[in-house]
Structure 1
Amino acid sequence: MSDDGLLGLVRTATPNVVRRSFALKFFIALLCIGLLVGSVGALGTQQMTAEFEQQVLDEHATTAKQEADSLANWNRQNSRFAETMARSQPVRAGNVSAMQRRFDREMRERNFDADDQPNLHYVDTGTGVVAASTKSNYRGESVDILNETVQSALDTGSATVITDAYTDTPTLESPQPRIAYVTPVGPSTDAVVVYTVPLQMRTGTLSGTGTSTSMVVGGDNQVLFHELNNDLLRTPYGEDNGAPAAARESGPADPGALRAGPAHGALNGTASMAGQEYVVGYAQVLDTDWVVLVHTDIETAYGTVRSVANRGLVATALGIAAIGAIGAVLGRNTANALSRLTKKTEAMQRGDLDVEIRSGRVDTVGRLHDGFAAMRDSLQDRIDEAERERKRAEVSREEVIETNAYLQETAATYSEVMERAAAGDLTQRMATDGEHDAMDAIAGDFNEMITELEKTTGQLKRFAEQVEESGTVVGSSAASVKDAAEQVAESVQTISDDAHVQRENLQRATESVDAAVAALDDGDVAAARDELDSVAGTLTEVADATEHTMAEAENVAGAAEEQAAELNEVSRRADELVRYVRPLHDVLDRFETESEHQFVFTGGPSLGEGERDD
């Protein structure tokens, strides 16, 4: 499963009330950490306790093994001593007096205490008599004076025999628990040397852990040696802990230890062990069925580790408490800081950008506050910039509205001027105020155009008047200038056609001006200017037509001058000229002009006989 899938599963399984609360999530995380620390501490303490307990068991097994090795050496030393005595010259020679002196000297040299002094006996098994002995009351006595355990070991064969523990005959003055080392003197005789050793010789010499109680039990599980108490010798061990059996089963090379109790039997007679559980280490003594047992009560054996374990548990508990306290403080501070930051961000979301976002922390939460503060400042700057842009847009909009209003007003004024000009008032001019270059350019172009048109129209009016006057004059003498009149008539017809063309051109100019006004009404200044350019072109055509008309008029004047002699014919043609010129005059008279333009008629030959106008 991917991380996203696992996280998604966790989110799905987590209640919403937990997901929405940082403090609750932090508390749960802190609880998990505490449980983890507690578990690790408990497991660590348990493992440490188990390791220490095993170490205690190993130490007891090692101590028991050391004591078993020490007893094995002690047995070997005693066996060698007995064998040395059996091989000594007096014993081999069978010289009783000499061997008695040797036995006494050996005991004196070993400097034993009187209470626990070992004894040497020379027993003639053939006669059944104790021939020599360090105990004077044994000399010359029957072997029956010896303990039954010793008597059963007299037939040793060729090897030294270590007897079981026994107690001297009660008839003796100081009966003591002992063991005996029985060694044959040699194959040539039936005698043996018996070396008896009090068990209490080892009492007080058994080693331990300093707080332990050590003892040695024999094959019958009776106490052979005790670390402190001689009164427990030859008493039943009485413990059903399996240690002696385990030691004999594993053998001398494999010591061990176990936990047992409560103590009873011989162990219960030791004050430090009475009724308590204990640890016992065991080891079998080499070449015997003896078992060394080293005991320590549980409180002493495990007291250190239990103290350490308890301190570990206390430390774990204190660690959990510290984690809880620190986590609670940090979590509370962090949760409060995040809660305050959340409220401030909600205030920002509602539009309150004046909220103060500040934290004295330098950690991630502090940087988060700084980030939100920077975001708030940036947002405020952007809002201020947007407000400034909005205000500038409003100002621009107002300027556009004012400009549109100005353009509409100016266009309306220009339209009125154009309408009056189109109606024939060529004295109209468009005013310029320097407010708008394009409108001023339109006005300048229009004024220039209308000025040219006014001039042209004035010339045409003047020409019409002069033609009318000339027609009257010619009419009075037209009888004699028939050909000139006919020529004039043709020229006048041409002029009439040109005037008609000029009228159409002027009509187109008027329509173009209207289109320009409409474009100005729509705010399309470029289109209006194009229309006015079209008007200028039309007026240029009118001017060209006018020049052509003037040329034709000059031709008329020349013809009239050349045919001056033919006045009768001219009179008739003049009547017709007046009839054709008057409508042109009426049309041109619709245009009002302030400028007067002289039109000069040049003389020419009299009108000849020409064609009459149909």
Structure 2
Amino acid sequence: MRSIFSSLVPSFIKRRYAAKFVVSILFVLIAIGLVGGVGYVDVNETLEQDVEDGLHSMSVMQADSLDEWTNKMSSQAHLLSERHEIQQGDTSQIEARFAYERPARLDDAASLYVVEIDSGEVVASSTEGDRNPEGTHIDDIDDPWADESVFREAHGDNVWISPRTYQSSGNPDRAVVAFVTQAGQDRVVVLEGAIDVRIGQLHQGGESQFTEIIDTNGEYVLRAEDDELDATEGGAIDDDRQLEAIQRAADDREVQFTRHEGMIRAYTPVGAGDRTSDWIAVTNVPADDAFEVRNTVGLSVLSIIATGLITLAIMGVVLGRQTVTPIRRLQAKTQAMEDGDLDVDLETTQTDEIGRLYEAFDSMRLSLQKQIEAARSAREEADAERQRVQQINQELERAADDYSTVMRRAADGNLTARMDPSTENEAMTEIADEFNDMLAQIEQTVEQLKTFATAVATASEEVTASSEEVRSASEQVAESVQEISDGAERQHVSLRSVDSEMSNLSTTTQQIAASSNQVADIAERTAETGRDGQEAAQEAIDSMRATETEARSALNEMHALEEEVAQIDELVEQIQEIAGQTNMLALNANIEASRASSNDDGGFGVVAQEVKELSTDAKQAADEIEQRLESIREQTGDSAAEVEATSQRLQNASNRVQEAVEALEVIAQYAAETNSGIQEISAATEQQAASTQEVVAMVDQAASVSEETTAEAENVAAAAEEQTTSLTEVSRSASDLTEQATHLSEVLDRFDTDVDIDGGMETRGFDFVNFDSTLETGDDHAKDVHPE
């Protein structure tokens, strides 16, 4: 709200206190004037309403009084017409009644007449002297009641009332209204009421106030001229506003008001209900008299408002001279102080707030003089300090440029780059030392990773080669076992044939001998094949054991690689920490540069920004190394899992081959026994006939043994096939490990190092294993990586 009000105030008023003061005074004056004007208007309206209400009450009261008077006159005329003397008496009797009635009841009656209806002659009259129309015909009388038509309207109980006032011929000094009613059958009574007397008796609000009577057509019934009421026989109102008010009063039977030609008029219809008439009572009040109180009160209110405004204006002028003028002088002196003149005179005789303001500015002037002197001294010290900071900035810029070059070389992969710590700034020296140590550790770690990756690749290739040899031996074993199985199958068939032939003893001894020799040869080959299979199975067992040993060695080397990768993770975290410290140092250097001098060209800030960017590059390089190491760690973990699974499969295959060897030993024993038996059969052919039953039993036994040999040979063949499959998987896993080690070597080759770790190098508490010597000696277990 305040901002909106401030935006509406013109700028020239905001900038000048005098303008604000004048505007404030004018605002107060206008507010007082508006309040006074509203109060004046309200008082005028209230007083006008009071005048109107009073005039309304008075006009209603006067109309009611006129209505009451006309009713009274009509009743008196009617009562008078009912008197016996009036209806049938002679002139003397009638006059006697008039004389009796006028003082008692007819005090408002100006004249009384009794007229014969048929003859039209005046029978009696209350007037005296020459104006007494007794015996006069109505045609000779100019009054409005002297007309036969009036008599016809006044028959019965009706009372005819003259539509307007007139001057009676019998009493010309009065303005009268005629009331005519029938008296008996032949006469009428005419009562002329002195309406001017009645109106004169009405209460008036002032001497200049008077009442007139008009009809609904705007024609005067009783008119006032020159402050006198005169009967009228003509004349009408020609003002449209008055005619409109008269018509509304007649139609609505309510009081209407007009203001015209300095007069206020109230138009009130006379009569109500059954006694309505065409008369309108007009109460006339001069506007000056009616609003005299209003004008007096309004003048008093205007006087009070004018007095307040004038007093406020005078106070504004006085206060302005006491405030605006001293403030203007103070503004001129402060302007001189602003221009550099601190010797201005700020003394004043005022002891109010403005005087204290002068004293405050004088104190400020003295304080400024002291502060300027202190600022000059501080400026000289700042110049000296700026020169010193400039030298420091130059030294830092030089060191930062050198460090920037070294960091760029390191970021490009040259890990042999080193920072020169010989600088006068301790923080920069500390950064150089820590950065050099960090690069040395990274360089050693990368070189160790290269050597280790090469060793892993070599060991993996040798594992692959050994796995191929074992796989070839396993295939040979499988072929030999298959031949044994085929021979055993043939032996089984042959023995079944022998059994069949032995059932038929009619065969010649030569055939028996030949069959025995053939069986002996087959048994001999079976024994030899069993021995060959036994030797091949033993060789397969030895090869699998060597492969298992190599796989365990590779697994141990993979675990060692995982530990080295963990050490690299620690180095990467140190790189990130140093990068964060470098960034914080750059931020501190930037803050110190802004504090040292605001006039510096920004050299220190540029150096700090460069150091910050280099630390960001180092952090990004460390993040990249960490991502690649994470990939190597995942691949190594996968390879270790595969080698462990392969080692387990080799162990299973070795167990099965061992079972095959044992089966082959049993087969060899059976084959030897078969050979001995057949030799005995061949030597004792001549005894064949006598030993037929024994031969048949032995042949049955040989057939059973041959059947068992066939089953065992099939089992050995299946085990050899499974061993071959396991060795294929071992060879594939070793190949994958070789590819991963080669990829690691390629990633590490982008870093240039000059560290020699030949012969085994000890780094960060770990020894690397020479896998070549391990693989060449064929040890069962590889050397484990162990902490010092």
Structure 2 length-normalised TM: 0.39
Greater share of residues in helix = 2
